[in-house]
Chain A
Amino acid sequence: MAQAEPTPGAGAAGTIYDLGYQGYDGPRRGRRYALWSLYVLSVRNAFGIGRGALPKVMAFVLLLFAHSLAIIQLILGAVLPVDEFEFVSPEDYYGLIQFILVLFVAAIASDIVGNDRRTNTLALYFSRPIERDDYALAKIAALCSGLLALTVLPQLLMFAGNALGASDGLDWVRDNADELPRIIASGVLLCLAFGSLGVLIASYAERRAFAMISVIAIFLVSFTVVGVVVSEIDNDQMRWAIFLSPLHVVDGSTHYIFDALPAVDELSRRGEPADQVAWADFPGYVWPFALLATSVVASALVVRRYRGSV
């Protein structure tokens, strides 16, 4: 067949070249492999890999901010001539970077699930050998994994830095070994809850800007309102309101897991979120379970959302 006229631009697309067609007789790996592919691509997209410059820069900046406290801890620990220096304690870490985490969820969730919906690529995914539930869960897993890099990773970095800064590193690790499972448990619970809530909100918000604003609004407005409610109102029903604020529940869960829930006194209701959590006066184990329940319910709602769409 004749070569396309050498017109510039889209000219070459005008002609169909006849070079035959090869079939495929190799293996077909099926559903689990397809899901793994979807998960890996979504995690890569979360950090801007394989996409434009802007998503890369944004993800990198947020990642850097999330690590900044750990990095400062490392530097100060190395420079200051004290044996055990603690600039930030692990149970307070997430509270200090919670706005970074919310921004990350807002920015990434709308990319991870919103793009497929906006560009109608969803129809192509659903015509593949996966189920709709698989798609929903792979997307939640991708956002949760992305969040791990902003939560558990800086905590581990800080742990390693503290060990290196101590006069006897091995001794320090032996004394503080119980921190490792606490870091992982509190971080994973946070990621599950934030990840599933983020995907849930983004799966309902069609436009990117709307998705981002919704995520930020839901996390921060609930945080502010619940903070005011708990501090200003003193009756038994109102303390339940605290479960409406994911950031408060995360604080409660993390402090419980690190065995660091503050003591309650009359001042705590106007104090830090962790103090307010203590003021609400629920048994400590309630917080991690509440976080887990939030994740399960949010994931179930996401699955339901995708079952309904064709």
Chain B
Amino acid sequence: MPLIETNGLTKRYSSVTALDGLTLDVDPGIIGLVGPNGAGKSTLIKILLGLVDATTGTAEVLGLDAAREGLRVREVVGYMPEHDCLPPDQSATNFVIHMARMSGIPPAAARERASEVLRHVGLFEERYRHMGGYSTGMKQRVKLAQALAHDPQLLFLDEPTNGLDPQGRDEMLDLVERTGHEFGISIVMSSHLLSEIERVCDGLIVIDEGKLMRTGRIAELTDETAVLAVEVEWDADRLAEMLADRGLEVQVLGRELEIAGGGSDGVHDAILEAVVALNLPLVRMERRRRTLEELFRPDADGAAEASNGAG
């Protein structure tokens, strides 16, 4: 069963089109949702939670129709909003217990779940304190905990690393990855930082101005390219010259050479012969992988290929 399936999903507000014919088919896993501000990420999440009706098109979450079965969707889905959403005059424990009960968990089980998820996100003694005195990092953890309180099958995380310092960011990403990969809870995580998405996500959805720009598994999107990266200790320039003489397309980047046409054996042999002939210490030779960042450079010629490959 696909995690999320949408068909021609369109949402128009009086003057703005937030989503424009979005068709998606997303498999379980950790999915990154990327797009600039105002791209329609939040609208998409709200439609999938059954909180906003689409103008046209359909959306299914875990096989449930989001528009008609919103209650059932929200029973098995957790949501962590981007903005601050915690009452300052309550303790994290009481708040998470209450939120578990709001998801239908009976009182005794709600208390157990609250201590379970607060432990999971790394809050201990401080969970009895009022949340008004929490740091941003602690608040983000409580927000994640309340989304996990009812043991959902799917989590929507809206910018979970927002406002965190680098260490807090690292820890939140670890937490997201463990929640997704070790505990088998699928996650849709929005972020504007591709490096974060690349680090923890299995899949990617890119939207802009309400349209789907790209979707696929991260591994496919960052597939090996036909470019060979060769690194030598010194004399990269001489090696480049020699290879160019043999008719290869070479670019020098410091100690590293990028050589096109890595797909054919002849190129490998030519490089090895040249290295031996110049008696250079070879550090490494490998097929280059794309990074997600590269895919989004407007002038990256690899982008079009990747999108075809993933589509």
CA distance A125 to B101 in the complex (A): 11
CA distance A273 to B169 in the complex (A): 63
- B22 contacts A by Cβ under 8 Å: no
Partner of A123, one of B85, B101, B135: B85
CB contacts (< 8 Å) of A52 on chain B: these are 89
- A29 contacts B by Cβ under 8 Å: yes
Identify the closest chain A residue to B130 (Cβ): A52
CA distance A16 to B137 in the complex (A): 12
Encode A14-29 as 1/0 by CB contact (under 8 A) with B. Answer: 1111110111101111
- B105 contacts A by Cβ under 8 Å: yes
Partner of B86, one of A23, A121, A128: A121
CA distance A52 to B89 in the complex (A): 7
Partner of B81, one of A51, A115, A124: A124
* Pair A128/B183 contact, Cβ less than 8 Å: no
Q: Which label, helix, strand, loop or mixed, suits the secondary structure of the A interface?
A: loop
* Pair B98/A37 contact, Cβ less than 8 Å: yes
* Pair A26/B52 contact, Cβ less than 8 Å: no
- A232 contacts B by Cβ under 8 Å: no
Encode A45-73 as 1/0 by CB contact (under 8 A) with B. Answer: 00000111000000000000000000000
Encode A121-151 as 1/0 by CB contact (under 8 A) with B. Answer: 1011111111100000000000000000000
Identify the closest chain B residue to A51 (Cβ): B89
CB contacts (< 8 Å) of A125 on chain B: these are 102
Interface centre among A28, A37, A130 (most CB of B within 10 A): A37
CB contacts (< 8 Å) of A116 on chain B: these are 87
- B51 contacts A by Cβ under 8 Å: yes
- A87 contacts B by Cβ under 8 Å: no
CA distance A309 to B143 in the complex (A): 21
Given known A13-B135, A28-B103, contact A19–B84 (CB-CB < 8 A): no
* Pair A26/B122 contact, Cβ less than 8 Å: no
CB contacts (< 8 Å) of A37 on chain B: these are 98, 101-102
Partner of B167, one of A14, A123, A129: A14
Partner of A24, one of B84, B90, B125, B151: B151
* Pair A131/B183 contact, Cβ less than 8 Å: no
Number of residues on chain A facing chain B (CB within 8 A): 42
* Pair A22/B102 contact, Cβ less than 8 Å: no
CB contacts (< 8 Å) of B98 on chain A: these are 37, 41
CA distance A241 to B243 in the complex (A): 96
* Pair B52/A310 contact, Cβ less than 8 Å: yes
CB contacts (< 8 Å) of A131 on chain B: these are 71
Q: Closest CB-CB distance, B250 to chain A, in whole Å?
A: 46
Given known A30-B75, A34-B101, A37-B101, contact A17–B122 (CB-CB < 8 A): yes
CA distance A15 to B72 in the complex (A): 35
- B289 contacts A by Cβ under 8 Å: no
CB contacts (< 8 Å) of B101 on chain A: these are 33-34, 37
* Pair B81/A123 contact, Cβ less than 8 Å: yes
- A188 contacts B by Cβ under 8 Å: no
Q: Closest CB-CB distance, B190 to chain A, in whole Å?
A: 15
* Pair B151/A33 contact, Cβ less than 8 Å: no
Given known A13-B122, A23-B151, A24-B113, contact A129–B94 (CB-CB < 8 A): no
- A120 contacts B by Cβ under 8 Å: yes
Identify the closest chain B residue to A19 (Cβ): B119
* Pair B138/A10 contact, Cβ less than 8 Å: yes
Identify the closest chain A residue to B171 (Cβ): A16
Partner of A121, one of B51, B87, B138: B87
Q: Could you write out 20 A-B pairs with CB less than 8 Å apart?
A: A10-B126, A10-B135, A13-B122, A13-B141, A16-B121, A17-B119, A18-B178, A21-B120, A26-B109, A34-B104, A115-B87, A119-B88, A121-B85, A123-B79, A123-B85, A124-B102, A127-B49, A127-B79, A128-B74, A129-B71
